Amino acid sequence: MPIIEAHGLTKIYRVTQKKEGFLRAVRSLFRREYKEVRAVDNVSFAIEPGEMVAFLGPNGAGKTTTLKMLSGLIYPTQGSAQVLGFTPWDRADEFRRRFSLVMGQKNQLWWDLPAADSFQLHREIYSLSRAQFTRTLGELTELFGVSKLTDQPVRELSLGERMKMELIAALLHQPQLLLLDEPTIGLDVVAQATIQRCLKDYNVRYGVTMLLTSHYMRDVEALCARVLVISHGRVIYDGPLARISEQFGKSKLVKLHFENDGVPTDLESFGEVTHSEGPVVDLKVERTRVPEVLGAILERYTVVDMSVQDPPLDQVIARVFEEARVQHEASSQSS
Amino acid sequence: MKPVASPHDVDDAVEERGRETEEDVRSIKEARIVRIARKYGNILRVSLIERLTYRGDFFLSTILRFLPMVTTILLWQAIYAGAGEKPIAGFSLHEMIAYLLLVHISRMFSSMPGLAAGIARDIRDGQLKRYLLQPIDMLGYLASYRGAHKIAYIATSSLPYALLFFLCREYFDRLPDLLTLAAYLCSLFLAFAVGFFFEASIGMIGFWFLEVTSLLYVVNTLNFFVSGQLFPLDLLPPFWAAVLKAMPFQYMAYFPAAVFLGKIQGADLVRGLLAEFVWGVVFIALARWLYRLGLKRYSAFGG
């Protein structure tokens, strides 16, 4: 049975339109004008226990709004969802004991106190037994490598250490579902990698389902086998990360190393030369033409080394977003 | 540590509805009440640790708070000198100064600095989310936290207070008897409830308006007068005194102080305590109702 099931989730926000100019501002005091924003539009998906899934999408795509609905913070305008067998926005205590939402930009720990004190508060909020609390905390601080830091005031910790403490606080009650909104935002590459490793280890060890949003492709590549690409409130792709390039990447990158600097001059007829340095040339070729192009080049020139690669994932994703935006604008103009 | 075997499963077993008798239901309900009480009690204990980190600040703020007292005492001495040292509205000079000191004790229980503004800020910047995500009630949590705050504050400022009351001992002509003292303590605890839920209700307005600071300023300024912090309500013309004594604000300052001085006795005292209790319940209901209404709006529009 899926741990999360969403059917046609839709959220329409009504935002007040602020007008410029004094008179208009005065008028809007009495009569407000609203604009409807479809933040999430008919989103459906199912997530099985133990999966690690990423929401990918540009700012304002509806990722966070979807997470908020799944965690019960807001009601959908339409549609339904079952999370851990509960309707999230009923906010049953039993439901709230079984999941955690961590937002990278918000902190929950007491700023001037050691994290250990905040953990105590969590123990009380979730009514955990002392034995269970001590054991879980021990395991978590060891897993995250912060055993020595729990007695230091939180304000003295680095951003990465603080994020680890936030995660520990979120995991103390052993949730079955962990929702993460930008868990590595603002962290340097090293700290990002550590957080990723910790989350991965935790998932492997305890089989916790994780759903995360992130801007960093690194996060997604490191953690999630499955991604949901969201753009303008719609899911435009649901599947393995690796296959995004197959579906959306129309071209491949052919790297060629020619012998004795003998770089041919007619390469442009095969594809676009994106990079050229000495005998090494990067050639962007349409996916379907790759075999034909390779055949022709190998026949005519001496090639020392070559490889065929997918273009970098973030470039593919950026293209997907861009295309979705153009499409969205076209469709909203025609309607 | 398998998430499958977490404590809520145990709770599930306890709360499993099936073939339970009425008695079971009752004992389960009782167990739940005990558990909830223990939970918020423990939250109070943990919060106490947090608040005690700021004890130095408490100590200083207590001392500073009494500096204006000196000018107030001088002012009233001048007023009484002008009135020929006769009692005003039943208050002698000594009683008047004792009253003004006692009002500080009332406010120690009923004032809630930053509560309404804090709730409004939580709503605005999204910290409210934690109360929706975690199995915890916002008002219950804030009340425990504020209780801890008050205990820490009263504990750390008791020394300067004791010193002050010792210095001003000549203004207290006689100390209340035990029964009055018990009623006084009772009125102070209820003052905490009235003050807390009154301010919390104001904070809930943050669900509808982004800024509550100016409203709060107006309310606090008015409250300073109508709760009797400036002078005893008896000094007002009888009609206005009666009006203000019918309002809930007097319980945040005037009422406990008047009880201590023995100005309210017998049936009046019982009626007053009962009214204070009812006002506390009214504000609890109001705060809860506004919270529920606000959450509906928050979940529909914001988040």
Digit-coded pLDDT (tens) for B182-218: 999 999 999 999 999 999 999 999 999 877 888 999 9
- Regarding whether A134 and A37 lie in a shared domain, the answer is yes
Residue A296 lies in a domain: yes
Catalogue the long-range contacts made by A275-279 (C-beta closer than 8 Å, 24 or more residues apart).
A279/A304
Same structural domain, A100 and A142: yes
Confidence of residue B25 (pLDDT cuts 50, 70, 90): low
Q: Which of A143-157, A217-231, B28-42 has the highest mean pLDDT?
A: A143-157
One domain for residues A257 and A210: no
Give the whole-angstrom CA distance, residue B242 versus residue B262.
18
Q: Are A239 and A254 in a shared domain?
A: no
**Residue B243: what pLDDT?**
95
Q: What local confidence, expressed as pLDDT, does residue A19 receive?
A: 65
pLDDT at B22 over 60: no
Residue B171 lies in a domain: yes
Within a domain: B13? no
Note whether residue A317 is domain-resident.
Answer: no
In a domain, A282, yes or no: yes
Q: 3-state class of B127 per DSSP?
A: coil
DSSP of A56-109, one letter per residue?
Answer: E--TTSSHHHHHHHHTTSS--SEEEEEETTB-GGG--HHHHTSEEEEETT---S
Structural domain boundaries enclosing A201: 4-245
Single-letter residue type at B238: P
Asked if the structure places residue B48 within a domain, the reply is no
| A330 within domain boundaries | no
- Whether residues A33 and A140 share a domain: the answer is yes
Question: How confident is residue A70, by pLDDT bands cut at 50, 70 and 90?
Answer: very high
pLDDT in tens, A164-175: 999 999 999 999
Place of tokens 């996060």: A219
Q: Which residues of chain A neighbour B136 with C-beta distances below 8 Å?
A: 125
Asked if A240 contacts A263 with a C-beta cutoff of 8 angstroms, the reply is: no
Closest in B8, B42, B43 to A94, CB measured: B8
Q: What is the CATH number of the domain that holds A284?
A: 3.30.70
Domain for residue A329, yes or no?
no
The residues in A 111-170 lying below 8 A from B, measured between CB atoms, are 112-113, 117, 120-121, 124-129, 132, 135-136, 139
Residue B18: inside a domain: no
CB contact under 8 A, A68 and B303: yes
The total domain count for chain A is 2
Lookup result for tokens 């839920």: B197
Q: What is the CA radius of gyration of chain B?
A: 23
pTM: 0.79
Residue B32 in domain:
no
Q: Are A12 and A135 contained in the same domain? A: yes
CA distance A128 to B11: 11
Identify whether B75 is part of a domain. yes
The neighbour count for residue A263, using CB atoms within 10 Å, is 18
A96 and B302 in contact by Cβ < 8 A?
A: no
Whether B83 is in a domain gets the answer yes
Can you give the residue range of the structural domain that contains B144?
A: 54-301
Q: How far is B51 from chain A (nearest CA, A)?
A: 10
Mutate to test the interface with B, among A13, A109, A124, A154 (most CBs of B within 10 A): A124
Contact B1, A135 (CB under 8 A): yes
DSSP 8-state assignment for residue A153: B
Domain limit, last residue, from A245, A264, A281: A245
Q: Does B10 have pLDDT greater than 50?
A: no
What does the block give as tokens for A105?
């930009």
pLDDT for the residue numbered B224:
92
| CA end-to-end span of chain B | 33
- Complex prediction ipTM: 0.76
For helices B22-52 and B7-15, angle between their N-to-C axes, nearest 10 degrees: 150
Q: Are residues A52 and A130 in the same domain?
A: yes
Domain count for chain B, please give it: 1
Q: Could you write out the DSSP letters of every residue in A242-299?
A: HHHHHHH--EEEEEEEEGGG---S-GGGTSEEEEEETTEEEEEEEGGGHHHHHHHHHH
Which of the four pLDDT bands, split at 50, 70 and 90, describes residue A95? very high
Nearest to A187 by CA among A219, A211, A160, A213: A160
Predicted confidence band of residue A285 (pLDDT cuts 50, 70, 90): confident
**Which residues are CB-contacts of A93 (< 8 A; sequence separation ≥ 6)?**
B135
Alpha-carbon A212 to chain mean position:
5
Q: Do A75 and A175 belong to one domain?
A: yes
A148 exposure class (CB count in 10 Å sphere: 0-12, 13-18, 19+): exposed
A112 and A208 share one domain: yes
Residue A137 is part of a domain; what is its CATH number?
A: 3.40.50.300
Q: Are residues A43 and A126 in the same domain?
A: yes
Between A and B, how many CB-CB pairs are < 8 A? Answer: 95
